[in-house]
């Protein structure tokens, strides 16, 4: 995955959804921190869609313990041919936790995989300048800078979309979205402003973040909006 254009990922903890995702997804995001035996799932995987692996620690909204094993699992995952991208937290790359997340980025590059550097705010959305600053730091450390924040108002969504457009115009690759009810529509609209990655579950009951559309709905919405443009 090079994310040079919008890429829609089916977010899942079960690679068995791949056949159902093919019609609408460009790839899968395997949430290893939610999954049962994720490395065994990768060993058995024979699907067509490429995979981005995420192993989110508890301090960034996930369920993985902040141990060396979390990063070891990502390195092992990157040895699979189907894994063509990895998500690493900006905070981890900047020193949060007791382990060197940079080694995973090095392994990814050795295997020709892309690095998505992510940051999340589950309480609020900062102002536009703060969003730009944080995403610039993420872009400096990876191939795509990702930010997901919780919107409390339409102004929060405008701040995120404005930052997305600004950074895209400057040649950066970013993936942005606002979580929660007030920000849900940003998942469909952000690609028009340059966001390169969307995330959606095949089944809405399996959402991995607040406010996600199901996969088929998000593909339809993005497609319709892009065709209108």
Q: Which residues participate in the annotated binding site for 3-dehydroquinate? A: 29-31, 56, 187, 208, 212
Pairing relation of β-strands 83-89 and 51-54?
parallel
Torsion, Cα 174 175 179 184, to 10 degrees, reads 110
> Distance between CA atoms of 88 and 1, rounded to whole angstroms?
15
Helices vs. strands in the chain: H and E counts, helices first: 9, 8
> Distance between CA atoms of 216 and 65, rounded to whole angstroms?
32
Residue 229 Cα to chain centre, angstroms: 25
- Residue set of the binding site: 29-31, 56, 187, 208, 212
Catalytic residue numbers?
120, 146
Three-class secondary structure of residue 101 per DSSP? coil
DSSP conformational letter for 106 = H
């Amino acid at each position: 995955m090079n994310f040079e254009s919008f890429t829609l990922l089916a977010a899942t903890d079960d690679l068995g959804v791949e056949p159902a995702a093919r019609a609408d997804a460009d790839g899968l995001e395997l949430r290893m921190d939610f999954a049962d035996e994720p490395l065994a799932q990768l060993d058995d995987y024979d699907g067509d869609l490429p995979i981005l692996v995420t192993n989110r620690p508890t301090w960034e909204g996930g369920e993985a313990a902040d141990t060396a094993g979390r990063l070891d699992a990502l390195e092992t995952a990157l040895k699979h041919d189907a894994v063509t991208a990895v998500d690493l937290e900006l905070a981890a790359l900047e020193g949060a936790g007791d382990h060197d997340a940079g080694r995973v980025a090095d392994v990814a590059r050795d295997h020709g995989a892309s690095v998505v550097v992510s940051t999340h705010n589950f309480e609020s959305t900062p102002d536009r300048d703060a969003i730009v600053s944080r995403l610039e730091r993420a872009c400096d450390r990876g191939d795509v800078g990702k930010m997901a924040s919780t919107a409390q108002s339409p102004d929060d969504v405008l701040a995120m979309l404005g930052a997305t457009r600004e950074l895209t115009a400057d040649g950066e690759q970013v993936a942005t979205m606002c979580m929660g009810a007030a920000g849900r529509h940003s998942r469909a609209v952000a690609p028009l402003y340059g966001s390169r990655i969307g995330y959606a579950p095949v089944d809405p009951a399996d959402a991995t973040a607040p406010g996600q559309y199901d996969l088929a709905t998000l593909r339809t919405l993005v497609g319709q909006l892009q065709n209108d443009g």
